[in-house]
Amino acid sequence: MSNLSSQSKRTEPLQDDGVDKEHLLHSFVEAKEKVNAKFRDLKKYLEDCEKFLAEFRKADENERDIKKFSSKVSGYLAQVSRISEVLSRDQIKMAFFGRTSNGKSTTINAMLQDKILPTGLGHTTNCFLSVHGSDLPDPYILVPGSDDKRNVKSLDELADALSKEKLDPSSLVQVVWPKSRFKILSGDVVLVDSPGTDVSPDYDGWIDKHCLDADVFVLVANAESALTVTEKKFFHKVNQHLSKPNIFIVHNRWDASASEPDKMELVKNQHLSRSISFLVDELKCVDKGKAEDRVFFVSAKETLMTRMQKHQGMPQGGLWLIKMCILLKQHELLTSKIFILNQVTSIALPGCFSGGAIHDEGFFARQLEFENFEHKLEECISKSAIKTKFESHAVSGLKIAKKLKILMEQRVGSTSQQRSTQEKAKKEQENRLKFVKEQLEISTREIKCLIKEITSKVEGQVTEAMTEEIGRVGLLVNEFNHPFHPHPAFLRTYKKELCDHLARGLGWNMTACLNVQTEVILKAQKDIADRFRSLLPPETLGVSLEPSTPALDFHANLGVDVRRLCADFQEDIKFRFSLSLQAILRKLLRPGPAIALEANTWKTVGGRFTALCGGLYGGVYVFERVRWTYGGEEESFKRQFADYASGKLQSEVSVMSAKCSGQVRQELTSTFAKLEFPVLRKMENLGKNIVELDQEITKLEKIEKKSIALRNDASRLESELSQFITEFGLEKSKI
């Protein structure tokens, strides 16, 4: 039976060009690019939200709500910023552990297809080594506590256990290697080599420092012996710190089994069974059905030499010769076994296999097993890394997007409701302003007509009252009872007293008239107040709508100043015969009907009574002269004063009536102005309120429009993050 087919049921035809790493872990790179883009969008969205909220935090009634909303957005932004920072640094980390000299560094070198990490006999790796990809063309290394880029050739001196420059076993030396040389590093992969689990018992320190962010652990075991207690103890510690870590077991140096081909399958099954039991039963980190895909049997040194030869330009014929020798040996056509194969390979691969040999038994199977290890590692780590690196962050981003969408929907609803309320208030204010304006115009016209009507009526009443009073002047003068004497000094006193008497008589009647006018004014004020009562409520007007006593003192302002009017009165109390020629001529020259009457009377008397009149004339003269005493003089004085005062008062009628009506107009106009002012002020306030409401509505429309846009953006981000989670098979149950 062919050993080639019996060594592994996972073999495939060997490809001459080795393992193509160009698309290795492509899913992780793609997922990282996408999730970073999503979080950049989410961060930009949150920044837009913050800017949007900062612009509209001026409305007092919304201040508390917007502050609360802004606080939430700021919290989300801080969370997303932290996640974005972590995502930008996230890499796939493969940590290799095992006992000293089990081939950890060689396994990493085989994967990198070059001898990068120091290898050799015994304990070679003195500290932790990490291999990072770089876009720079030249490799370099970084040692702890320094930013100096050292030459990569100094790595042997730094990391080799035999080196004089000793580093702490837990320290980490970074190897920065050009991505262009090895495609696996282009997938944001970091490979970590360890000094050996048997070097230091400080497992907890190692795990805390280098393992908590590892995506996969590779236990490199020696196929020539069973798993040791030390190796198991370390991974038990790992299992305690991490929940179900991804652990692969690589049984290296499986080429040694070629020396005992009869026992090869039995040994392999024993290792496989124990490894599966360790993963499933002890660590419980993988299901039994998947455990077999976590255990591999390889020769890292053979794989490294084969891949190095390819990169060093090995002729195709040389590789063909090796394959032919192996096939011939398998078909028992070549009997010199390993010796002949070594001779051939020493010719075909000069310098590559010095110090080592390629065993024909299972060579191709081991090569395919190593490739299978890489592919299974790639498959596991791609899914695992995406899950461990991105799942929680993607779910957090999705939750934030959902919450932001809800918050923005609330913002849209709240703003829409506020805008509707403000529009309703604006419409009410506009209708109120229109009503008040129209009613004020109507009331103004009606009140002006009312004032005109009242003042005209008052003017007529005052004219009528004064005319009546003038007719009573003679009676009031005759009622004056005071000692009379024609002496000038006595007459001055008599005249003053008479004026005061006349003023009192006239004032009493005028007061009664003016009391009526006061009632007219009060009624008019009440009418005006009632009209304004329909425009605005009393508390809005700011003045009392109840009628009150007029502010003007009509009695004082409209009192008759008889002394002033009669100051120029000059009495004539000398005796004058009523039938003297001068008196007769004065009567004849008097204008109007009275002159005609006197003329007719004279004609009637005529000549027939001339004689009789002559006699009588003398008698009358004697009679009048006898009667011309102080009493006659007083009667003449009063008659003259009454005539003079009546004439003066008559000339004052129009002035007094106009003055009275003017005062009424002034009082009513003042009342109208006092009541109109708060209405005008209210109209002005209504206008300002309408402008403010319009500005508020415009602002709310902008807020609503922006909120809708932000809500749609949040919905888009939610959809994109959900699509990302679905695309990369992440846990929807955590959403």
Neighbouring residues of 334: CB distance < 8 A, sequence distance ≥ 6? 325, 328, 340, 341
Residue 507 confidence (pLDDT): 63
Confidence grade of residue 340 (pLDDT, cut at 50, 70, 90): very low
Confidence grade of residue 167 (pLDDT, cut at 50, 70, 90): low
Residue 418 confidence (pLDDT): 87
Residue 12 confidence (pLDDT): 45
Three-state DSSP state, 326: helix
CB atoms within 10 A of CB 328: 15
Q: Is the pLDDT of residue 337 over 50?
A: no
Q: Which range is least confidently modeled, 107-111, 386-390, 477-481, 550-554?
A: 550-554
Residue 596 confidence (pLDDT): 46
Within a 13 Å sphere around the CA of 433, how many CA atoms are in the beta-carbon half?
A: 17
Q: How far apart are CA 655 and CA 557, in angstroms?
A: 12
Under 8 Å between Cβ of 14 and 368: yes
Under 8 Å between Cβ of 373 and 719: no
Q: How far apart are CA 397 and CA 409, in angstroms?
A: 18
* Residue 271 or 351, more confident: 271
Average pLDDT across the chain, whole number: 77
Q: What is the pLDDT of residues 596-630, one digit of tens each?
A: 444 554 454 555 556 666 667 666 666 555 555 66
Q: How far apart are CA 147 and CA 141, in angstroms?
A: 9
Q: Is the pLDDT of residue 6 over 50?
A: no
* Residue 382 or 228, more confident: 228
Confidence grade of residue 1 (pLDDT, cut at 50, 70, 90): very low
Q: Is the pLDDT of residue 45 over 60?
A: yes
Confidence grade of residue 15 (pLDDT, cut at 50, 70, 90): very low
Q: Is the pLDDT of residue 221 over 90?
A: yes
Q: Looking at residues 377-388, what average pLDDT do you find?
A: 78
Q: How far apart are CA 308 and CA 561, in angstroms?
A: 138
Three-state DSSP state, 570: coil
Q: Which range is least confidently modeled, 131-135, 155-159, 588-592?
A: 588-592
Q: How far apart are CA 15 and CA 573, in angstroms?
A: 163
Q: Looking at residues 106-115, what average pLDDT do you find?
A: 88
Residue 249 confidence (pLDDT): 95
Confidence grade of residue 83 (pLDDT, cut at 50, 70, 90): confident
Q: How far is CA 34 from the centre of its chain?
A: 29
Residue 508 confidence (pLDDT): 57
Q: Is the pLDDT of residue 356 over 80?
A: no
Three-state DSSP state, 609: coil
| Tokens read off for 216 | 């996969």
Residue 485 confidence (pLDDT): 77
- In DSSP terms, which residues pair with 247 in a beta bridge? 217
Q: How far apart are CA 629 and CA 485, in angstroms?
A: 10
Q: What angle do CA 379, 381, 382 make, to 5 degrees?
A: 65
Give me the sheet containing 172-178, strands edge to edge: 140-142, 172-178, 128-134, 189-193, 92-97, 216-222, 247-252, 295-297
- Number of helical (H) and strand (E) elements in the chain, helices listed first: 23, 8
Confidence grade of residue 549 (pLDDT, cut at 50, 70, 90): low
Residue 568 confidence (pLDDT): 84
Q: Is the pLDDT of residue 100 over 50?
A: yes
Three-state DSSP state, 551: coil
- In DSSP terms, which residues pair with 160 in a beta bridge? 125
Handedness of CA 720, 721, 725, 726 (dihedral sign): negative
Under 8 Å between Cβ of 396 and 83: yes
Q: How far apart are CA 500 and CA 496, in angstroms?
A: 6
* Residue 550 or 298, more confident: 298
Q: Looking at residues 437-442, what average pLDDT do you find?
A: 89
Q: How far apart are CA 544 and CA 547, in angstroms?
A: 8
Residue among 468, 498, 469 at smallest CA distance from 641: 498
Burial of 6 (C-beta count, 10 Å sphere; 0-12/13-18/19+)? middle
Q: What is the pLDDT of residues 657-686, one digit of tens each?
A: 888 888 888 888 888 888 888 888 888 999
Residue 464 confidence (pLDDT): 83
Q: Look at phi and psi of residue 188 and say left if phi exceeds 0, alpha if psi is from -120 to 50, else beta.
A: left
Q: What is the pLDDT of residues 111-125, one digit of tens each?
A: 888 888 877 654 456
Confidence grade of residue 595 (pLDDT, cut at 50, 70, 90): very low
Instruction: Choose from 110-119, 349-358, 407-416 the range with maximum mean pLDDT.
Output: 407-416
Q: How far apart are CA 402 and CA 714, in angstroms?
A: 7
Residue 483 confidence (pLDDT): 84
* Residue 95 or 242, more confident: 95
Q: Looking at residues 474-479, what average pLDDT do you find?
A: 85
φ/ψ (deg, to 5) at 280? -85, -50
Residue 423 confidence (pLDDT): 94
Residue 429 confidence (pLDDT): 92
Residue 205 confidence (pLDDT): 74
Under 8 Å between Cβ of 256 and 224: yes
Residue 608 confidence (pLDDT): 58
DSSP 237-256: HHHHHSSS--EEEEEE-GGG
Q: Is the pLDDT of residue 177 over 80?
A: yes
Residue 321 confidence (pLDDT): 52
Q: Looking at residues 278-292, what average pLDDT do you find?
A: 92
Q: How far apart are CA 213 and CA 93, in angstroms?
A: 7
Neighbouring residues of 252: CB distance < 8 A, sequence distance ≥ 6? 102, 103, 106, 107, 220, 221, 222, 223, 298, 299, 300
* Residue 351 or 234, more confident: 234
Confidence grade of residue 293 (pLDDT, cut at 50, 70, 90): very high
Q: How far apart are CA 382 and CA 392, in angstroms?
A: 16
Q: Is the pLDDT of residue 350 over 80?
A: no
Q: Percentage of the chain surpassing pLDDT 70?
A: 71
Q: Is the pLDDT of residue 201 over 80?
A: no
Under 8 Å between Cβ of 389 and 712: no
Confidence grade of residue 282 (pLDDT, cut at 50, 70, 90): very high
| Tokens read off for 244 | 């179900």
Residue 597 confidence (pLDDT): 44
